[in-house]
A and B are shown apart, each in its own frame.
Chain A
Amino acid sequence: MLDYLAGRFAQLLIVLFGVSVVVFIAMHLLPGDVATLLLGDRATAASLARLRHQLGLDQPVIVQYWRFLSGALSGDFGTSLRDNRPAFGEVLQAFPVTLELTLSALLLAVAIGVPLGVAAALNEGTWIDTAITTPTLFGVSMPVFWLGLMVLLVFSEKLGWLPVGGLMPIGVHMARPTGLSILDAVLSGRSGLVWQALRHLLLPAATLATIPLALITRITRGEMLSSMNLDHVRTARAKGLPESRVIRAHILRNALIPIVTVIGLQLGLLLSGAVLTETIFSLPGLGRLMVDAILARDYPVVQAGAVFVATVFVLVNLGVDLCYAVLDPRIRRQ
Chain B
Amino acid sequence: MSASTAIGEPAALRAAIARPAARIGLGIVTLFLFLCAFAPVIAPYNPFDQNLMGALASPSAVHLLGTDQYGRDVASRVLYGARYALLAIIVGDGLALASGTAMGLVAGYLGGVADAVIMRIVDVLLAFPYLLLALIIVAALGPSLLHSMIAIGIVYTPQYARLVRGQVLGVRHTDFVRAARALGASSRRIMLRHVAPNSLSPVIIMATLQAGAVVVETAGLSFLGLGAQPPSPDWGALLADGQNYFLTAWWIATFPGLAIFLVVLGFNLLGDALRREFDPRAR
Binding site for B on A (CB under 8 A): 11, 14-16, 18-19, 21-23, 25-27, 29-31, 137-138, 140-147, 149-150, 152-153, 157, 267-269, 271-273, 275-276, 279-280, 290-291, 294-295, 299, 302, 306, 309-310, 313-314, 317
- Residue ID in chain B nearest A297 by CB atoms: B139
User: Could you say which residues of chain A place their CB within 8 Å of the CB of B141?
Assistant: 29, 31
Binding site for A on B (CB under 8 A): 21, 120-121, 123-125, 127-132, 135-143, 212, 216, 219-220, 223-226, 236, 239, 242-243, 246-247, 250, 253-254, 256-258, 260-261, 264-265, 268-269
Cα distance, A140 to B135, chains bound together (Å): 22
CB A221 to nearest CB in B, in angstroms, measures 13
Cα distance, A140 to B212, chains bound together (Å): 10
Contact partner of B140 (CB less than 8 A), chosen from A27, A142, A147, is A27
Besides A19-B127, A26-B139, A276-B131, 18 other A-B contacts (C-beta < 8 A): A15-B127, A18-B121, A23-B136, A25-B140, A27-B139, A29-B140, A30-B140, A137-B21, A141-B268, A142-B261, A143-B216, A143-B257, A145-B220, A150-B254, A275-B132, A275-B135, A291-B226, A294-B143
Decide: B128 and A306 in contact? CB cutoff 8 A: yes
With known contacts A137-B269, A143-B260, A276-B224, A153–B216 Cβ distance under 8 A: no
Interface centre among A22, A271, A299 (most CB of B within 10 A): A22
Cα distance, A25 to B136, chains bound together (Å): 10
Cα distance, A21 to B136, chains bound together (Å): 12
Decide: A313 and B128 in contact? CB cutoff 8 A: yes
Decide: B132 and A309 in contact? CB cutoff 8 A: yes
User: Could you say which residues of chain B place their CB within 8 Å of the CB of A290?
Assistant: 132, 135
With known contacts A15-B123, A18-B121, A153-B247, A146–B132 Cβ distance under 8 A: no
Decide: B136 and A306 in contact? CB cutoff 8 A: yes
Decide: A152 and B246 in contact? CB cutoff 8 A: yes
CB A61 to nearest CB in B, in angstroms, measures 15
Cα distance, A73 to B137, chains bound together (Å): 23
With known contacts A146-B257, A279-B224, A30–B139 Cβ distance under 8 A: yes
A-B contact pairs, 12 of them (CB 8 A): A22-B128, A27-B140, A29-B140, A30-B140, A137-B269, A153-B247, A268-B130, A271-B131, A290-B132, A295-B143, A299-B139, A302-B139
User: Could you say which residues of chain A place their CB within 8 Å of the CB of B254?
Assistant: 150
User: Could you say which residues of chain B place their CB within 8 Å of the CB of A19?
Assistant: 124, 127-128
Decide: A137 and B268 in contact? CB cutoff 8 A: yes
